[in-house]
């Protein structure tokens, strides 16, 4: 049994039935704003299908999405931008799983170009180049992740709380103590019918000083530290083709 289109849907005009569509035009449907918004949400994106292709050298290709496990050789400190490096801790095989392409012990170089923002607890590391023990070099340009593949590298975060607010807190405390002392002195002068002590200028200057100090220190960014030897991962962001530098040699592995 096969399916077929009903008459009138296949582009055929041979039915000879006059429906009168040329004479009677439907009235345009009026839609409310809520209905139009719902219609827009229900309209999906119609994208062209992606053509499939065959990987040219699966035995010499590390495919995109491969995770490379690495141990850091340098300490990570985000106070300033800098360079980092790590050593691959496990062999990485080709797309078909038959050829070892990245050796355990390979060194990966990376860079940290920016610091943390307030509220962040991970830093973005771009791993740029991998060097195998046999001298083969390949450009990675891939992001660093934690052990489970989440973007960014974790570490100990110093928010510099006292550096940001300590001076302003001390000025505020000094201002409160001064006001309390001056208030006590004012009460004593009133009891003895002596001159009043004016504190308005002192309070205003102290408040301005506290605001100035806070504006200069509140934007100190947090710093992330990660000690040497921690395990990180690299998410390969593109296919790595080793076919130009390696060839197959059948026999026992060295």
35-49 confidence digits (pLDDT tens): 677 777 776 677 888
Maximal CA-CA distance, the chain:
117
**Average pLDDT, rounded, for the chain:** 77
- The confidence band for 15, taking pLDDT boundaries of 50, 70 and 90, is very low
- State phi, psi for 180 to the nearest 5 degrees: -65, -40
| Residue-wise pLDDT tens digits, 158-193 | 776 666 556 556 666 656 665 666 556 566 666 655
Least confident range of 18-27, 42-51, 103-112, 242-251: 18-27
Residues 111 and 99: their CA atoms lie apart, in Å, by 29
- Looking at residue 187, what is its pLDDT? 60
Lookup: tokens for 16: 């000879």
**pLDDT bracket for residue 13 (50, 70, 90):** very low
Average pLDDT for 69-95: 93
Q: What pLDDT does residue 235 have?
A: 96
pLDDT greater at residue 35 or residue 98: 98
pLDDT higher than threshold 60 for residue 27: no
Indicate whether 86 pLDDT > 90.
yes
Q: What is this structure's pTM?
A: 0.63
Question: Which segments of the chain does DSSP mark as H helices, in order?
Answer: 33-42, 161-191, 200-217
């Amino acid at each position: 049994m096969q399916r077929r289109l009903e008459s009138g849907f296949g582009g055929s005009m041979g039915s000879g039935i006059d429906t009168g569509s040329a004479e009677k035009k439907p009235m345009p449907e009026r839609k409310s704003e809520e209905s139009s918004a719902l219609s827009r949400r229900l309209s999906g994106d119609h994208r062209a299908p992606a053509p499939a292709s065959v990987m040219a050298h699966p035995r010499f290709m590390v495919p995109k999405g491969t995770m490379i496990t690495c141990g850091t050789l340098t300490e990570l400190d985000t106070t300033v931008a800098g360079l980092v490096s790590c050593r691959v801790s496990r062999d990485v095989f080709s797309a078909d799983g038959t050829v070892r392409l990245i050796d355990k012990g390979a060194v990966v170089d990376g860079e940290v170009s920016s610091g943390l923002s307030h509220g962040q607890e991970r830093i973005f590391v771009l791993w740029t180049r991998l060097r195998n023990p046999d001298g083969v070099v390949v450009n990675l340009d891939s992001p660093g992740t934690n052990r489970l593949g989440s973007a960014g590298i974790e570490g100990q975060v110093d928010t510099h709380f006292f550096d940001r607010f300590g001076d302003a807190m001390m000025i505020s405390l000094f201002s409160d103590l001064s006001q309390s002392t001056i208030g006590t002195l004012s009460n004593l002068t009133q009891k003895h019918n002596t001159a009043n002590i004016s504190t308005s200028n002192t309070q205003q200057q102290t408040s301005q000083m506290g605001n100035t100090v806070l504006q200069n220190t509140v934007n100190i960014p947090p710093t992330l530290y990660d000690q040497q030897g921690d395990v990180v991962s690299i998410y390969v962001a593109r296919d790595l083709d080793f076919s130009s530098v390696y060839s197959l040699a059948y026999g026992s592995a060295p």
